[in-house]
Structure 1
Amino acid sequence: MRRFTQGFYGYAVALFVCLAGAGLFLLVTPQSREEHIPRLDYSITVANFGHAVPYGVWAPPKDPPGWIPNSNKIAVGENGAQVLYLGFATAKREHAMFVQSNEQPAAGFVGRMANTDKAAGTQQVGGVTWEQRFRSDKNQRSLVRVLPEVTLVIIGTADWPELAELAGRLQQRPKG
């Protein structure tokens, strides 16, 4: 018995017992190969945001097909302005986030949200012009639309067509 507790044989037996135990554990532990992205309803957050701001809130009345809303929050931005964040996993399983606020100056808000102050071009979405911004080191694209009452920004690692799909679904809800 002593030779199994000392030297190379003892080490080999201990290693075998540990590996066998780990293998048995992995064998009996249930494993899921399915993707699980939590789905979070944002309707209450959007309604609460609508009560807190002096303008009609923008939001998609219906999510794009295959998209999963997975985050939402209301935060306080610069100068006490309210900021609404709606996050999505896109159909291609990239990230897209819609952000809106009446924070002033709008250029400062857009620069912080897009992580760049340089425009990369424009894109037409449903007859409306959106400014494109791109930050290559983060593979982050942004669509920006500055309106008189509110600034809309769509940010993400999603490609331009997916970001445009979200932009095209946005509708302003009446204040009330």
Structure 2
Amino acid sequence: MSEYSRSSATFKNYAISLGILVGIVLIMAFVVSTRSGEHIPTVDYRPDADVLGEAADYPVRAPSAELTDEGWTPTSSTLNVSGPVEWSVGFATAADSHAMFTQSDADPEQVVAERVKEAEQVGTVAVGGREWEHYDSEDWGALVLREEGVTLVVSGSAELDELAHLAEGLEDLPAAEGDGDAEPSESPEG
């Protein structure tokens, strides 16, 4: 007579299947543990700033390189020079939030509507010696500076102090060489 037992064959199959599943879970746990550090992709926004400097009819500002030294990571750079000239640079902030700087010569109302989302103006904030309009909602904030020919917007899910830090970290880029509107520099007389 055969010693084959259907119940022992079923248990054996379950044990093999369970062993395979445990092996897969252990491999997945090992892979996840070796890749546990968050990797945020970084972009170099300076080439877009240089192109903008040549294409824009307004003074161009760019985030200071010092922001990256403070733990800010540039994650995106979008430049449009066909039509309204607009440039946006996105950052992962030092506090792991999101902030974006946009400058555009499009209609200021359109730029503000697109960048402040559903936030409402709640006052002004002094940043770098200028009064920026402050917009706020439950999950979005923005600072807006309207200047002649250009609108600057710093917006995102970051806290107001981080948005203000980004706005304060903007620096004027030198005018493009060959710009007919540039003032001639004076040389010291010797």
How is 1:13-24 mapped onto 2 (pairs within 5 angstroms)? Answer: 13=15, 15-24=17-26
TM-score, normalization by structure 2? 0.79
Identical columns (%): 33
Match of 2:87 in 1: 84
Match of 1:40 in 2: 43
The 2-side partners of 1:154 and 1:110 are apart by 10
Q: Compared with structure 1, are the counterparts of its residues 131 and 5 closer, same or farther at alpha carbon in structure 2 (3 Å cutoff)?
A: farther
* One-letter identity of the residue aligned with 1:73: T
Q: Give the structure with higher Rg (CA).
A: 2
Number of aligned residues: 170
Match of 2:34, SS state, is coil
Query: How large is the RMSD of aligned CA atoms in angstroms?
Result: 2.4
Q: Compared with structure 1, are the counterparts of its residues 17 and 149 closer, same or farther at alpha carbon in structure 2 (3 Å cutoff)?
A: same
* One-letter identity of the residue aligned with 1:129: E
Deviation at 1:145, TM superposition (A): 0.4
Match of 2:155 in 1: 155
Structure 1, unpaired ranges of 5+: none
TM-score, normalization by structure 1? 0.84
Q: Does 1:171 align with 2:171?
A: yes
Structure 2, unpaired ranges of 5+: 177-190
Q: Given that residues 55 and 175 in structure 1 are in contact (C-alpha distance below 8 angstroms), is that contact kept between their aligned partners in structure 2?
A: no
The 2-side partners of 1:28 and 1:116 are apart by 43
Match of 1:103 in 2: 106
The 1-side partners of 2:134 and 2:151 are apart by 14
The 2-side partners of 1:2 and 1:63 are apart by 74
Q: Given that residues 119 and 136 in structure 2 are in contact (C-alpha distance below 8 angstroms), is that contact kept between their aligned partners in structure 1?
A: no
| Higher relative contact order (Cα pairs below 8 Å, separated by 6+ residues) | 1
- Higher mean Cα deviation, 11-20 or 93-102? 11-20
Match of residue 74, structure 2, among 69, 72, 91: 69
